[in-house]
Amino acid sequence: MKQYKYLVVAGCSQTYGQGCYSYEIYPQLLADKLKLQLINLATSGTGWYSVEANIMSFIKNNKNILNECFFILQISQLERRLNYEELPICRTDVWEKWNIKYMSPVDMSVQGYNDWEKYGENKPSWWLHASQKQYKSTQWCTIESTNRNLIKFPEHKHYSNSLHHWKLGKNHSIQPPYIQEQFEELMSHWGLRISSLHLFLKNLNIDHIIVDGYSPLLSYKLNFTNYYDTNDEYEMVKEFWSTNTIGIDVDDVMIYDFKNIQVGWIFDSIDIKYKIDDVVLWSLYQFKPHQTEWNIDGGHAGPLGMKLIADTVYKSLVNKGWIS
């Protein structure tokens, strides 16, 4: 077992410690418990792209101490900081014979559709088939049917605040026609990005663990461990991520069936030693009283919530043999 000197963490506000003093945040509590020096590369409001960039910058510039580092990578929200231009969310039939039904807006600007009446707007007068490459334009790729007007993909349900609208139109009353399939493409996108960084780190023999912060990606099977103070909290967590719509206005809520995710095999390819897949950190304190030291605002842990996270991650590190 390596003798670590540094605990390097990356993530969003959950790991940055928004709303807490630096000595109260879970990375610092964990570093103190492990007797390691904390290097906190997390930033509020960021997503997985930031984790990738910050970790890569650290590796590139600190090769001499990598063997002394243990990394914790926290996955943020599903819809956080997406590059929509490169995300395959546009429905088209051009590659349908290969079972590829979605392209990115960038690809669509070149490829278009075979059946314009079914999948696209009225065929522009200047359009020729995509195989005639002299005609290329992005002018037509702004139609609502491609969901380009989607402000954010839904995390799981339609939260009440305006940042999480997933329906279209001025009054957010139009159900996007391909939202479930587009959500699958989003899960595939993150699966590739997360597993790619993991394999890169593993290839360099860099010790690390990845954990879900706000969404069940690694923990998509919803086989949560009962880390909670009461059974009621544990049942509420399982209910929140389930597809049970009892007491929910289904017309106003998107329910995503995480247990039947089509790209689960990507997350399964990450060895259990390198991931915490039985908890979403946010859920550890979400059902505690808000505006308290447990949960300062509904989305961020207070000092007591941070201690819950630190204890849970510590237990996982011991169980997986990273620390004795």
How many C-alpha atoms does 285 have within 13 Å on its Cβ side?
29
Angle between helix axes 26-34 and 303-319 (nearest 10 degrees) is 50
CA 284 – CA 196 distance, rounded (Å) = 28
CA 162 – CA 271 distance, rounded (Å) = 38
Minimal CA–CA distance to 290: which of 307, 282, 281, 302? Answer: 302
CA 238 – CA 232 distance, rounded (Å) = 10
E strand or H helix at 60:
helix 48-61
Residues 6+ apart with CB under 8 A from 48: 75, 76, 80, 81, 190, 193, 194
For 279, phi then psi, to 5°, come to -160, 145
Domains in the chain, CATH or no CATH each = 6-81+186-319 (3.40.50.1110)
E strand or H helix at 315:
helix 303-319
Note the pTM of the prediction, 2 decimals. Answer: 0.88
CA 21 distance to own-chain centroid: 26
CA 76 – CA 46 distance, rounded (Å) = 8
DSSP 213-252: SSS-STTTT------SSSHHHHHHHHHHTSS--TTS-GGG
Residue type, 290: H
Q: What's the pLDDT score for residue 117?
A: 74
Q: What 3-state class would DSSP assign to 277?
A: strand
CA quadruple 35, 41, 46, 51: dihedral positive or negative?
A: negative
Q: How many helices (H) and strands (E) does the chain have?
A: 10, 7
CB 149 within 8 A of CB 129: no
Tokens of 282: 């946010």
**pLDDT tens for the 324 residues of the chain, in order:** 689 999 999 999 999 999 999 999 999 999 999 999 999 999 999 999 999 999 999 999 999 999 999 999 999 988 788 887 888 888 889 999 999 998 887 888 788 888 877 776 545 444 444 434 333 333 333 334 444 545 667 766 645 444 566 777 677 777 777 888 888 988 999 999 999 999 999 999 999 999 999 989 999 999 999 999 999 999 999 988 888 877 666 666 777 889 999 999 999 999 999 999 999 999 999 999 999 999 998 889 999 999 999 999 999 999 999 998
